[in-house]
Structure 1
Amino acid sequence: MHAIRQHTFGSPDVLVYERTDDPVPGPGQVLVAVAAAGVHLLDTAIRSGVRTGPMPTPPELPTIPGREIAGTVVGLGTGTDPGLLGKRVVTHLGLAPGGYAELAVADAAKLHEIPGTLDEAAAVAMIGTGRTALGILNFAALGPGEVALVLAAAGGLGTLLTQYAKNAGATVVGLAGGARKTALVTENGADLSLDYNEPGWPSAVRGFLGGQRPVTVVFDGVGGAAAEEAVRLLAPGGRHLVFGWSSRGIAADGSGFDLTESGLAERGITSEPVLGPVMMAREGGENPMRALESRALAEAAAGRLRPRTDQFPLAAAAQAHRALEGRATVGKVVLEP
């Protein structure tokens, strides 16, 4: 088969499209002909050799990156249900890589059958990014009268958070970088779409809300200066939900507005990281991760959430990584063999 292999850590150029042996499913596993493989920002950190929370130890090299796949079951390991053969499935591989390939091995117990209304690219967007979005939303308690500000609203998570907030009856302000992305945020249903590169965007938010409806929740996967400004717009009692730091963390900037924990507490604002164990605890149940995945796929199948995907050929994985790191992508980045 063809796959993307990585023989060393470094820039996107270390991702090489080459022939390698077909994987063989073990007991309780299946072989999937991959139609779509998800690309996550975490993949770029792993590729670089950076140790990060979910992956404290870099993978053994050479490796085939990628942990989200959708496709058709074409082979079975021993003890695996024969009824799975020929099914369209989607799964998150967890800590095991192998997704950037024409064929991948997956645990049968972790598979979800793809609803007939979804294509593989949409399904792979929902199995990882979709489950994360629903996990974040468990903390938001959105409803009519809320004003939600979504940072990076043109990204995979931002797209879904914007749609969900609108469906819940909230007013949505979406921030993105550049005219192309803000136009997509508007198409996605935001009531106001603004370019966070424009210095006057906080004033535009205040003007749009007319001083009558303050921001009540900020969805922050970015950090940095844009997040600082967003937190300044929060009303007393507002919620700042943190799920990423693609720029940098929140920090006081000496302008007289205290963004430290004590300063936020004085205004009754909560700033809460919502990934990892706290997300699983909030979801609850025997298998919270699988429950989130099932709900995400159901929301997409029903048309309530519509993932946007940015698709690249498998052989162009290096290009996809460069585009993702350069913030040139919209929606969920997907590789297609």
Structure 2
Amino acid sequence: MHAIRLHAFGPADNLTYEKTEAPEPGPGQVRVAVEAAGVHLLDTALRQGIRGPSPELPALPTVPGREVAGTVESLGADTDPAWLGKRVVAHLGMAPGGYAELAVTGTDRLHEIPAPLDAAQAVALIGTGRTALGILAFTTVTPDTVALIPAAAGGIGTLLVQYVKHAGGTVVGLAGGPAKTRRVEANGADLAVDYTDPGWPARVREFLGERRVTDLFDGVGGATTAAALDLLGPGGRHLIFGWSAQGIGDTAGPLLLDEAEQTRRGITQVRTLGPAMLRQVGGADPIRTLEVAALDLASRGVLAPAVDRFPLSGAAAAHRALESRGTTGKVVLEP
């Protein structure tokens, strides 16, 4: 089979398209003929040797990638034969191996792909979709919600816009440049604003009139967040899920106000990722709960992930595009 391998940490060009041995499924595992593999911002950090939120760096050489969708073409020992031939999607967990024509995973990680979805959309939902719904678990979206969503043209932002609009709320979406703001507007946002324009906060205030932002869905950080916080009204929630403007390896973290300043403004800042999300969702397997919910909402037309497709051999180009913010939606490799 062909796969993308990383032999040394460094630039995107270190990702090489090679012929390599196919992985063999073990007991309780399946081998998937991959139709789509997800690319995550974390992948770009690990490629550089930056641990970021990952507990450790992968051993080299490695085949990156942790999200795959395709057809089950081989079974390991003691694996339910009913899986053979099914179209499935899976998050591989901490085991890499997704950037390949074939990938192995346990049946406990598999989901059947709902009929309306293609493999690339399913990959977007198993990672980006579950994260978006996990963030939304920290608030209740109603027709009174006024959501401000930086990076609204991105993978998570696209889904947040759709969810809030489906619930009847008002969405102000921020994006960089005219092309991305047009996509945000086409996705249903009530107002799409170019955050590279220094006057963008005034445009938002003019649009909202007497209303204030109730929920700031923030994966950006930096100057954009500082300006957005001034638009958040009393009782508002600042839901933090990243700080991409600073880079994934930045140790400064998100823009956090001290408790006294939060009280003065009457707002609440919440870091939504990691253990906090698992506690908020609850249940025996909160991650799987979110994955099932994301696939279900997409099958019913509530969510429609945006996907940027690259050939598997173009993994280096996909990484460069993601790092330069040249993508709109979930980045996916297709063998």
What TM-score do you get using the length of structure 1 for normalisation?
0.96
Q: Counterparts of 2:10 and 2:139 in 1: how far apart (Å)?
A: 37
Residue in 2 that maps onto 1:165: 164
1:196-224 Cα shifts (integer Å, max 9, x gaps):
100000000000011x1111110000100
1:137-180 Cα shifts (integer Å, max 9, x gaps):
01121101111000100000000000001111111000000111
Residue in 1 that maps onto 2:249: none
Q: Contact 2:221–2:255 (CA<8 Å) still a contact in 1?
A: no
The offset of 1:275, in angstroms, is 0.5
SS of match in other structure, 1:290: helix
Q: Which amino acid aligns with 1:38?
A: G
Q: Contact 1:223–1:245 (CA<8 Å) still a contact in 2?
A: yes
Residue in 1 that maps onto 2:235: 237
Q: Contact 2:145–2:170 (CA<8 Å) still a contact in 1?
A: yes
Partner of residue 224 from structure 2, selected from 223, 226, 241? 226
Structure 2 runs not aligned, ≥5 long:
247-252
Q: Counterparts of 1:58 and 1:8 in 2: how far apart (Å)?
A: 12
Q: Counterparts of 1:282 and 1:250 in 2: how far apart (Å)?
A: 20
Q: Counterparts of 1:142 and 1:197 in 2: how far apart (Å)?
A: 28
Q: Counterparts of 1:160 and 1:61 in 2: how far apart (Å)?
A: 34
Q: Counterparts of 1:113 and 1:251 in 2: how far apart (Å)?
A: 39
Aligned pair 1:152/2:146, yes or no?
A: no
Partner of residue 271 from structure 2, selected from 270, 273, 286? 273
Q: Counterparts of 2:318 and 2:145 in 1: how far apart (Å)?
A: 36
SS of match in other structure, 1:247: helix
SS of match in other structure, 2:245: coil
Q: Counterparts of 1:265 and 1:110 in 2: how far apart (Å)?
A: 42
1:214-261 Cα shifts (integer Å, max 9, x gaps):
111100001000011111100011100000011134548xxxxxx444
Q: Contact 2:225–2:255 (CA<8 Å) still a contact in 1?
A: no
Aligned pair 1:185/2:184, yes or no?
A: yes
Residue in 2 that maps onto 1:255: none
Partner of residue 321 from structure 1, selected from 315, 319, 330? 319
The offset of 1:265, in angstroms, is 2.0
Q: Contact 2:4–2:315 (CA<8 Å) still a contact in 1?
A: yes
Q: Contact 1:228–1:250 (CA<8 Å) still a contact in 2?
A: no
Residue in 1 that maps onto 2:202: 203
Q: Contact 1:251–1:260 (CA<8 Å) still a contact in 2?
A: no
Q: Contact 2:226–2:255 (CA<8 Å) still a contact in 1?
A: yes
Residue in 1 that maps onto 2:295: 297
Q: Which amino acid aligns with 2:100?
A: A
SS of match in other structure, 2:124: helix
Q: Counterparts of 1:245 and 1:52 in 2: how far apart (Å)?
A: 12
Residue in 1 that maps onto 2:250: none
Q: Which amino acid aligns with 1:4?
A: I
Q: Which amino acid aligns with 1:241?
A: L
Aligned pair 1:115/2:114, yes or no?
A: yes
How do 1:33-72 residues align onto structure 2 when only pairs under 5 Å count?
33-53=33-53, 55-72=54-71
% identical aligned pairs: 63
Q: Which amino acid aligns with 1:174?
A: G
Q: Contact 1:90–1:111 (CA<8 Å) still a contact in 2?
A: yes
Q: Counterparts of 1:156 and 1:331 in 2: how far apart (Å)?
A: 4
Q: Which amino acid aligns with 2:328?
A: V
Q: Counterparts of 2:30 and 2:157 in 1: how far apart (Å)?
A: 33
Q: Contact 2:240–2:254 (CA<8 Å) still a contact in 1?
A: no
Q: Which amino acid aligns with 1:180?
A: A
The offset of 1:266, in angstroms, is 1.5
How do 1:79-158 residues align onto structure 2 when only pairs under 5 Å count?
79-158=78-157
Q: Counterparts of 1:94 and 1:209 in 2: how far apart (Å)?
A: 42
Q: Contact 2:242–2:254 (CA<8 Å) still a contact in 1?
A: no
Q: Which amino acid aligns with 1:315?
A: S
Structure 1 runs (4+) deviating above 4 angstroms are 249-252
SS of match in other structure, 2:147: strand
